[in-house]
Structure 1
Amino acid sequence: MTSKAALAPSHMMELPRKILIGERVVSEAGALVRSLGGTSKVAVITGRIVKKRAGGQCSASLTGASLKSRWYVVSDASMDTVNKLYGKIGKDGPDFIIGFGGGRSVDVAKMTAYRLGLPFLSVPTSASHDGISSPFVSVRGIDKPHSIKANTPIGVLADTHLLSQAPPRLLAGGCGDLVAKITAVKDWELARDEKGEYFGSYAANLAYMSAKIILDESEKLKGRDSFSIRTIVEALISAGVAACIAGSSRPCSGAEHLFSHALEYVAGSDCGLHGERVGLGTIMMAKLHGLDWEKVAGTLRNMGAPTRARQIGLTEEQVIGALVKAQSLRPDRYTILSKVRMDKESARALAKSVKVI
Structure 2
Amino acid sequence: MFDKSTWIRLPRNVVVGHGVLPETLKAVEELHLTGRPLVVSSPTPYEVAGSRVVAQFADAGYDPDEIIIEEASFDAVQAVIAHAEEVDTGFLLGVGGGKAIDITKMAADHLGKGFVSVPTAASHDGIVSGRGSVPEGDTRHSVAAEPPLAVVADTEILAQAPWRLTTAGCADIISNYTAVRDWELAHRLKNVPYSEYAGALSQMTAEMLVENADSIKRNLEESSWIVVKALVSSGV
Which TM-score band applies after superposition, normalised by the shorter structure?
over 0.9
1:14 lines up with 2:9 in the alignment: yes
Aligned position for 2:75: 80
Describe the shift of the 1:219–1:8 C-alpha distance in structure 2 as closer, same or farther (beyond 3 A).
Answer: farther
1: CA distance, partners of 2:4 / 2:168: 33
2:54 and 2:65 in contact (8 A); partners too: no
Aligned position for 1:214: 209
Q: Which structure shows the bigger proportion of residues in strand conformation?
A: 2
Q: CA deviation at 1:24?
A: 1.3
Q: Among 177, 189, 193, which residue is 1:182 paired with?
A: 177
1:99 and 1:109 in contact (8 A); partners too: yes
The within-5 A match list for 1:289-304 is none
Question: 1:291-340: per-residue Cα shift (whole Å, max 9, x none)?
Answer: xxxxxxxxxxxxxxxxxxxxxxxxxxxxxxxxxxxxxxxxxxxxxxxxxx
Aligned-residue RMSD, C-alpha: 1.8
Please list every run of 5 or more consecutive structure 2 residues that lacks an aligned counterpart in the other structure. Answer: none
Q: What TM-score, normalized by structure 2, do the two folds share?
A: 0.93
1: CA distance, partners of 2:10 / 2:174: 22
The within-5 A match list for 1:19-168 is 19-141=14-136, 145-168=140-163
Aligned position for 1:238: 233
Equivalent position amino acid for 2:29 in 1: R
1: CA distance, partners of 2:220 / 2:58: 31
Equivalent position amino acid for 2:178 in 1: T
Q: CA deviation at 1:9?
A: 5.1
Equivalent position amino acid for 2:98 in 1: G
1: CA distance, partners of 2:3 / 2:234: 20
Q: CA deviation at 1:60?
A: 2.3
Please list every run of 5 or more consecutive structure 1 residues that lacks an aligned counterpart in the other structure. Answer: 1-6, 242-357
Higher RCO (CA-CA < 8 Å; seq separation 6+): 2
Describe the shift of the 1:57–1:15 C-alpha distance in structure 2 as closer, same or farther (beyond 3 A).
Answer: same
Q: What TM-score, normalized by structure 1, do the two folds share?
A: 0.62
Q: CA deviation at 1:147?
A: 1.2
1:96 and 1:120 in contact (8 A); partners too: yes
Describe the shift of the 1:151–1:56 C-alpha distance in structure 2 as closer, same or farther (beyond 3 A).
Answer: closer
Partner SS for 2:37: strand
Question: 1:212-265: per-residue Cα shift (whole Å, max 9, x none)?
Answer: 122222122235522221110000000001xxxxxxxxxxxxxxxxxxxxxxxx
Q: CA deviation at 1:103?
A: 0.6
Partner SS for 2:212: helix
Q: Which structure shows the bigger proportion of residues in helix conformation?
A: 1
Question: 1:146-197: per-residue Cα shift (whole Å, max 9, x none)?
Answer: 4121111111111111111111110011111111100000001111222222
Q: CA deviation at 1:71?
A: 0.9
Aligned position for 1:4: none
2:135 and 2:141 in contact (8 A); partners too: no
